[in-house]
């Protein structure tokens, strides 16, 4: 083994604690890169393969009732490769022991070789010769213990039918299966049931007709052109407007999750690698300073500066290699676990997860470059010294000059003056330590803010804006007198009507499809809120647009927006924007219910009612609503909030746990390296203090006070950086589906700081042990 390599191994063994701290920070950077990219790639590849293998449709369009003959015209549209008519209807399951309302989506079993094919987990498909066979979605079956041969009662079009479950399946169309009006999947209260076409035709009086059509397009065909042609064909049959894959609910939520993972990959790894580079620089600069004499001797023996530089770079690369290997293992393990979690959450039948050599290579290269960048800065000054000068020990630091001289201005104890002098004399190193510690705080601040934001989102959405206990949606629009029937149901204490009409809003070159909601002018249960959280009255004319819609269409109060209603007479009108409301879920637009009926040309009608219930009579109300023939579905606010909290709590707790661990690694690495360097530099001074009669606690206090100053200075900087990262994350996570409010409470800063301080205390305890074991004679005999 070459002598310089043997020396590098010896140095590595001697400085194993500092080397381990640096390697852990490097490993954290590698792991986050592989974790995020691995989970992102697995989720993306699994989705793409699942879509391709099971022929997920490119377009979908709902109609009220269209003849099967229309399908030939649809297939004739240029660019359409395949068109498949279906019957898609909502129904109500009757499950023994379940009192809360539930719904199922009835869908025609896909044809052989058709679109949106099913992946059978158990059993077989329903056979066309039977009217009571059905295939049930896996999550719904699991929630209720269904298996092949189970019986399921379903009320279809007002009539109960007992179905036999022949199979359990998954579908690319329902990777993220949301019930009507829900924000989070709830497999207990919503499922998908596939039945044969003849069975659904008889149940809904749709013989020779269809209510939904799905299309597959040729590659490269403009989606907008096909949508326009399809809408023209289906308009006379009550078509509500075709939607592309990007607007399909399941795909949109999955795509939003992929964007969030991509944002994580861009933010976290650079932070860890930057901190690691600073730690390498701090450690190596001190090591080189201590080894000036050895460097001079090596030069005198004929070693060239390049060879000496390679020796120290090899030392750094050994540390980097340990961090890279540890990061590979941790990243692959965490990435596979995260991908498995996503596969279960999004109902994938399989998971495509493989190691991408390019990602591992990129992670190793970036990590090695970051480590060497920190080393080269330390090497440059010493390697330029002549051998004779290098062999001489460096001149003692003159603390009277520069910033260190300021320590003598203020009256204070000598030990405190030593601390201040040491911090000020090496401002760059002190600043690097403060910045590294601040990044640990920033990572925690940038993750912990989500708890307060979710609570604020729930408070605003479900306590201030949507204050009803139940939203009752009718199967079809009803006249105003239907509200009296609702008010006389058991337990109903207050009822407000609403009207929802699908529409296409266009402003300049931008357009969005959504449902415009009509509300009473003085609505008290379902309200629009101004940005300062005050209720907004519904204007006599014009729309109140949510902030998300206003941003998407570049709208301001007073602008005119073209509204094309997508049902009934399909009128096209221009309406003014009367105000901008606050909203966190979806794109919203509201107007006074009478004005909406006039603008759409449909006259007075209601789509449902928002209700306040007597909690003691909830069971009776649910039974009465289920028996009412006009009931479409019920959204229960308490159940929605409970599911929302449970799902987010699971995901956020997992991610925050990862962030806390990584931040603790940074904090420990920075504190340990900083204190070890300070100890090596001040070993002679501390030993002298012990000889002069200072106690171990007083001597330790010199280093620990210096450490405390660095930790405390890092807190406000970390808060500021974390605040900025949090805002960037909010911008990256926001989409048309939801907007996350940025709420940063004081408890976020306090929690982040406490976690980092705890990690610093653990590091300080380790350093205190080394100070207590200080060999006074050995230290005093050194030349420094």
Question: Running DSSP on this structure, what letter comes out for residue 460?
Answer: I
628, pLDDT greater than 70 = yes
d(CA 200, CA 758): 63
**CA 311 vs CA 6, 377, 673: distances in Å:** 10, 15, 21
Q: Band of the pLDDT at 432, cuts 50, 70, 90? A: confident
Share of the chain above pLDDT 70, in %: 87
pLDDT digits (tens, 9 = 90+) for 368-391: 887 777 677 666 665 666 666 556
Full DSSP string of 470-532: EEEEEEEEE-TTHHHHHHTSTTEEEEEEEEEEEEEEEETTEEEEEEEEEE-TT-SSB-EE-TT
Q: Is the pLDDT of residue 403 over 60?
A: no
CA 145 to chain centre: 31
C-alpha to C-alpha distance for 149 and 164, rounded to whole angstroms:
6
Do 578 and 557 contact (CB within 8 A), yes or no? yes
Mean pLDDT of 548-552: 89
Count Cα atoms within 13 angstroms, Cβ side, for 92: 27
Once rounded to an integer, what is the mean pLDDT over residues 570-589?
A: 89
pLDDT at residue 40, as a whole number: 79
The pLDDT of residue 743 is above 60:
yes
437-495: per-residue pLDDT in tens? 888 888 888 878 877 888 888 889 888 998 999 999 988 889 988 999 999 999 999 99
Residues 347-371 have pLDDT tens digits of 888 877 666 777 788 778 877 887 7
Q: What is the average pLDDT across 187-191?
A: 90
**Confidence (pLDDT) at 394:** 58
Band the pLDDT of 279: cuts 50, 70, 90.
low
> What distance in Å separates the CA atoms of residue 105 and residue 190, rounded to the nearest whole number?
8
Question: pLDDT-based confidence at 776, cuts 50/70/90?
Answer: low
Per-chain mean pLDDT for the chain: 82
* Per-residue pLDDT, 397: 56
10 Å Cβ neighbour count for 677? 20
- pLDDT over 50 (residue 420): yes
* 398 pLDDT more than 60: no
Question: Looking at the whole model, is its pTM more than 0.95?
Answer: no
Residue 396 has pLDDT above 60, yes or no: no
pLDDT digits (tens, 9 = 90+) for 71-105: 999 999 999 999 999 999 998 898 887 878 888 99
pLDDT at 14: 79
**What residues pair up with 545 in beta bridges, in sequence order?**
580, 589
Report domain extents, the chain: 1-60+253-394, 61-252, 492-613
Residue 287 pLDDT class (50, 70, 90 cuts): low
**Residue 746: pLDDT above 50?**
yes
How many DSSP H helices and E strands does the chain contain?
Answer: 22, 22
Q: What is the mean pLDDT of residues 282-305?
A: 73
DSSP string for 375-421:
HHHHHHHHHTS-HHHHHSPPPPP-TTSGGGGGGGTS---HHHHHHHH
Highest mean pLDDT of the ranges 492-506, 677-691, 753-767: 492-506
For position 641, what pLDDT does the model report?
A: 85
The pLDDT tens digits of the residues spanning 684-711 come to 677 777 777 777 777 777 778 888 888 8
- pLDDT digit string (tens) for 117-156? 999 999 999 887 777 899 999 999 999 999 999 999 998 8
Which DSSP string do the residues of 100-143 spell out, in sequence order? S--EEEEEEPPPTT-SS--EEEEE-PPPTT-SSEEEEEHHHHHH
Q: Summarize the confidence of residues 584-599 as an average pLDDT.
A: 89
Q: How confident is the model at residue 431 (pLDDT cuts 50, 70, 90)?
A: confident
Confidence of residue 784 (pLDDT cuts 50, 70, 90): very low
- Which token pair is 189? 């209260």
Residue-wise DSSP of 216-270: EEPTT--HHHHHHHHHHHHGGGT----EEGGGSHHHHHHHHHHHHHHHHHHHHHH
Q: What percent of the chain has pLDDT over 90?
A: 29
pLDDT higher than 80, residue 240: no
Residue range 419-446: mean pLDDT, rounded: 79
């Amino acid at each position: 083994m070459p002598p310089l390599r043997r020396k590098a191994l010896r140095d590595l063994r001697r400085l194993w604690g500092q080397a381990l701290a640096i390697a852990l920070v490097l490993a954290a950077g590698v792991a986050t890169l592989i974790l995020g990219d691995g989970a992102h790639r697995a989720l993306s590849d699994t989705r793409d393969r699942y879509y391709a293998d099971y022929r997920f449709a490119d377009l979908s369009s709902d109609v009220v009732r269209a003849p099967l003959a229309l399908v030939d015209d649809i297939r004739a549209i240029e660019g359409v490769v395949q068109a498949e008519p279906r019957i898609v209807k909502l129904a109500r399951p009757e499950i023994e022991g379940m009192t809360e309302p539930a719904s199922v989506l009835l869908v025609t079993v896909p044809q052989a070789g058709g679109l949106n094919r099913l992946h059978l987990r158990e059993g077989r498909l329903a056979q066309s010769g039977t009217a009571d066979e059905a295939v049930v979605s896996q999550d719904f079956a699991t929630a209720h213990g269904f298996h092949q041969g189970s019986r399921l009662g379903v009320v279809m079009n007002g009539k109960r039918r007992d179905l036999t479950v022949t199979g359990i399946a998954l579908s690319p169309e329902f990777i993220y299966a949301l019930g009507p009006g829900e924000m989070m999947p709830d497999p207990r209260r919503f499922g998908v049931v596939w039945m044969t076409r003849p069975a659904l035709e008889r149940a809904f009086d749709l013989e020779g007709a269809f209510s939904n059509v799905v299309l597959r397009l040729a590659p490269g065909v403009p989606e907008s052109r096909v949508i326009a042609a399809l809408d023209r064909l289906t308009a006379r049959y009550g078509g509500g407007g075709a939607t592309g894959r990007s607007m399909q609910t399941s795909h949109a939520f999955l795509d939003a999750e992929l964007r969030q993972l991509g944002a994580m990959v861009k933010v976290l790894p650079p932070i860890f690698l930057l901190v690691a580079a600073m730690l390498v620089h701090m450690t190596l600069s001190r090591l080189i300073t201590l080894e000036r004499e050895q460097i001079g001797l090596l030069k005198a023996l004929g070693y060239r500066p390049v060879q000496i530089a390679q020796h120290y770079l090899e030392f750094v690369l050994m540390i980097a290699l340990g961090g890279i290997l540890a990061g590979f293992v941790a990243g692959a393990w965490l990435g596979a676990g995260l991908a498995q979690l996503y596969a279960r959450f999004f109902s994938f039948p399989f998971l495509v997860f493989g190691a991408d050599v390019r990602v591992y290579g990129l992670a190793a290269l970036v990590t090695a470059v970051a480590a060497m960048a920190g080393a080269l800065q330390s090497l440059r000054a010493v390697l330029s010294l002549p051998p004779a000068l290098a062999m001489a020990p460096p001149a003692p630091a003159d603390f009277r000059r520069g910033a260190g001289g300021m320590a003598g201005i203020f009256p204070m104890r000598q030990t405190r003056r030593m601390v201040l002098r040491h911090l000020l004399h090496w401002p760059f190193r002190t600043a690097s330590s403060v910045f590294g510690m601040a990044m640990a705080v920033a990572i925690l601040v940038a993750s912990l803010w989500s708890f307060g934001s979710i609570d604020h989102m729930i408070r605003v959405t479900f306590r201030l804006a949507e204050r009803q206990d139940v939203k009752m949606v009718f199967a079809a629009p009803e006249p105003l007198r239907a509200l009296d029937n609702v008010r006389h149901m058991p337990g109903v204490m207050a009822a407000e009507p609403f009207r929802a009409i699908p529409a296409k809003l266009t402003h300049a070159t931008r357009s969005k499809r959504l449902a415009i909601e009509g509300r009473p002018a003085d609505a008290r249960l379902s309200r629009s809120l101004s940005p300062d959280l005050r209720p907004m009255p519904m204007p006599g004319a014009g729309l109140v647009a949510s902030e998300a819609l206003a941003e998407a269409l570049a709208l301001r109060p007073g602008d005119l927006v073209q509204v094309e209603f997508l049902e009934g007479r399909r009128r096209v009108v221009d309406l003014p924007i009367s105000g901008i409301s606050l909203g966190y879920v979806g794109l919203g637009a509201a107007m006074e219910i009478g004005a909406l009926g006039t603008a759409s040309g449909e006259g007075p009608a209601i789509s449902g009612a928002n209700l306040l219930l007597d909690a003691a009579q909830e069971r009776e109300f649910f039974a009465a609503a289920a028996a009412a023939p006009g009931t479409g579905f019920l959204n229960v606010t308490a159940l929605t909030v409970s599911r929302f909290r449970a799902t987010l709590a699971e995901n956020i707790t997992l991610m925050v746990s990862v962030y806390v661990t990584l931040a603790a690694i940074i904090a420990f690495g920075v504190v340990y390296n900083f204190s070890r360097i300070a100890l090596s530099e001040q070993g002679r001074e501390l030993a002298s203090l012990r000889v002069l009669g200072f106690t171990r606690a007083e001597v330790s206090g010199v280093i620990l006070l210096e450490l405390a100053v660095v930790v405390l200075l890092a807190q406000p900087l970390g808060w500021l950086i974390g605040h900025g990262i949090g805002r960037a994350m909010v911008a990256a996570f926001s989409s048309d589906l939801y907007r996350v409010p940025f709420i940063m409470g004081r408890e976020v800063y306090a929690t982040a700081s406490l976690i980092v301080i705890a990690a610093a205390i653990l590091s300080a305890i380790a350093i205190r042990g080394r100070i207590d074991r200080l060999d006074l004679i050995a230290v005093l005999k050194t030349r420094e």
